Structure 1
Amino acid sequence: MSRLLSLFLVLPLGALAAEPAAQAAAPVAAGGGVGGQLAQLLLGLLLVVGLIFLLGWLLRRVQRIGPRGGQVIKLLASQPLGARERLLLVQVGSEQILLGLTPGRISTLHVLSEPVHLPDAEPATPEFAQRLMELLGKDQKDKT
């Protein structure tokens, strides 16, 4: 747009003014053309994407500096109550706390005086695997 405006201003001045305008426009067309602008755009884009990855890597490195070992806060159980609400049983040190979690709030519902002992999850039994195969329509005899 600025090139067209400069051409309209230079044309009425005559032959003497036209030569410097042509000389000034020639380097702009050679170095600042569409290819040069595209290269500059891609270089800037690569620089920004590289900076994002560098900051992400740096953030992960900084987060690892904190205490690694035994975590003080443990999530023992979670029970969904609705689409976005749930109950959480959290252990902090030796204390267990029942929390209510909603999208806008976390509320302490109860601090348990006696810790709840949760049964360990049992591994899948062979009967479960057999029942699953039956439900999927496959028979154990087809394996051999």
Structure 2
Amino acid sequence: MNRFLVLPLALPMVALAAEPAGQATTPLAGSDMAGQLGQLLLGLLLVIGLIFLLAWLLRRVQQLAPRGGQVIKLLASQSLGPRDRLVLVQVGNEQILLGLSAGRITPLHVLKEPVHLADAEPATPEFAQRLMELLGKDQKDKS
């Protein structure tokens, strides 16, 4: 008796399974591939645009943060070797000379009288500013 109930239920499923095979051989398959490729490119452009939007937004938020309120300031830096350097740091009203090596920071001296540096040039310019200076010097040398 169970065989007679299963057979009528299975026939519509077989008919539905056979239908897509007949439709796959139509010439519209090429345009379907172009549509999928178009969706892929549109999604890729959307993701790239979102990345650029978030980067721009992050820059705007960082510019709004007060920069003058920093407690620790890097005043000067001198390289001693490939991994060693001396750094003069100001914390509040005190200036501290630090020795930096591969895995260690060592306070070397706390200065009783602060060292006054020229305000014209910062101790560590930003990468873009430094790059522009180097490019400007290269262009002057070629002329």
Aligned residue in 1 for 2:59: 60
Aligned residue in 2 for 1:91: 90
Correspondence 1:111-130 to 2 at 5 A: 111-118=110-117, 120=118
Aligned residue in 2 for 1:50: 49
Aligned-CA RMSD value: 3.2
Secondary structure in structure 2 of the residue aligned to 1:101: strand
Letter in 2 for 1:23: Q
In 1, Cα distance between equivalents of 2:69 and 2:116: 20
Secondary structure in structure 2 of the residue aligned to 1:116: coil
> Where has structure 1 moved over 4 Å in runs of 4 or more?
none
Secondary structure in structure 2 of the residue aligned to 1:53: helix
Q: Choose between structure 1 and 2 for higher RCO, CA contacts under 8 A separated by at least 6 residues.
A: 2
Correspondence 1:1-144 to 2 at 5 A: 17=18, 21-26=21-26, 29-33=29-33, 35-69=34-68, 71-118=70-117, 120=118
Identical counterparts, % of pairs = 71
Structure 1 residue runs of 5 or longer lacking an equivalent are 1-12, 123-135, 137-144
Letter in 2 for 1:83: P
In 2, Cα distance between equivalents of 1:73 and 1:41: 48
In 1, Cα distance between equivalents of 2:49 and 2:103: 35
TM-score by structure 2 length? Answer: 0.56
Query: How many aligned residue pairs are there?
Result: 105
The CA deviation at 1:103 is: 4.6
Tell me whether 104-113 or 83-92 shows the greater mean CA deviation: 104-113
TM-score by structure 1 length? Answer: 0.56
In 1, Cα distance between equivalents of 2:103 and 2:94: 25
